[in-house]
Amino acid sequence: MEAAVAFDDLLARAREQGGVPRHVAIIMDGNGRWARERLLPRALGHRSGMRAVREVIEGAIDVGLEVLSLFAFSQENWHRPVSEITALMTLLEEYITREVGALHDRGVRVQVLGEVERLTRAARDAVERVTRKTQSNDRLTLNLFISYGGRAELVRAAQSLARAACAGQLTPEDIDEEAFGARLYTAGCPDPDLLIRTSGEQRVSNFLLWQMAYTELFISPVLWPDFSRRDLYEAIIDYQNRDRRFGRVTG
């Protein structure tokens, strides 16, 4: 009962303080370490992490976020053992199949961002299914970054601008931050206000390099499978107590 009260208190406090971030991004780290500490296969760590995904989505809805971005699978992850990659692709299919109905019912719009063409055929079909079914929802936008790399995204945007310039559709002088941002995967989404990284690691790991120019960082020691909406609310409350100046002097 005390835990439930504390949980509700954190949610109420986050709501009452005001200034809830519009967009929270999370680097979900620690699945492998969680499994290793329990002498379990890494694949079971990833599977256990799916519970935390559900927890955080529910917490994001309850606290009133507009956008939740989850870094699920990086381009660098393709270099992992084939068995682990196969397990991750299977988990993606399973997650979408199991959760698509609940996500739709809760008003969540799902976007899968990254080099989706590199996924297995079954995983791509699942991605297409969830994005199509939820495309008209507007309560929460859930960005799932899969086969994503920040540097590759910047190169992709630069190539798009170069092609447009070569075709005479714009001049070099037309290229500004707005034009560049419009060619990123996240075009149309506000930049993250808050980045949470779990497992205590203190790096951004090639995630949203352009978009996080002024993002507040919160490092959580909690391994991802153990991360709960309570941890999300604590990070948001910490964010609410910060003074964001965006390079300017105030006061």
Q: Which residues carry out catalysis?
A: 29, 77
Question: What single-letter DSSP state applies at residue 73?
Answer: E
Which residues are within 8 A (CB) of 188 and not within 5 positions of it... i.e. 6 or more apart?
none
Q: For tokens 């606290």, what's the residue? A: 63
Contact 210, 190 (CB under 8 A): no
CA angle, corner 245, sides to 239 and 246, nearest 5? Answer: 100
CA distance 129 to 76: 26
Whole-number Cα distances in Å, 227 to 62, 157, 194: 16, 33, 16
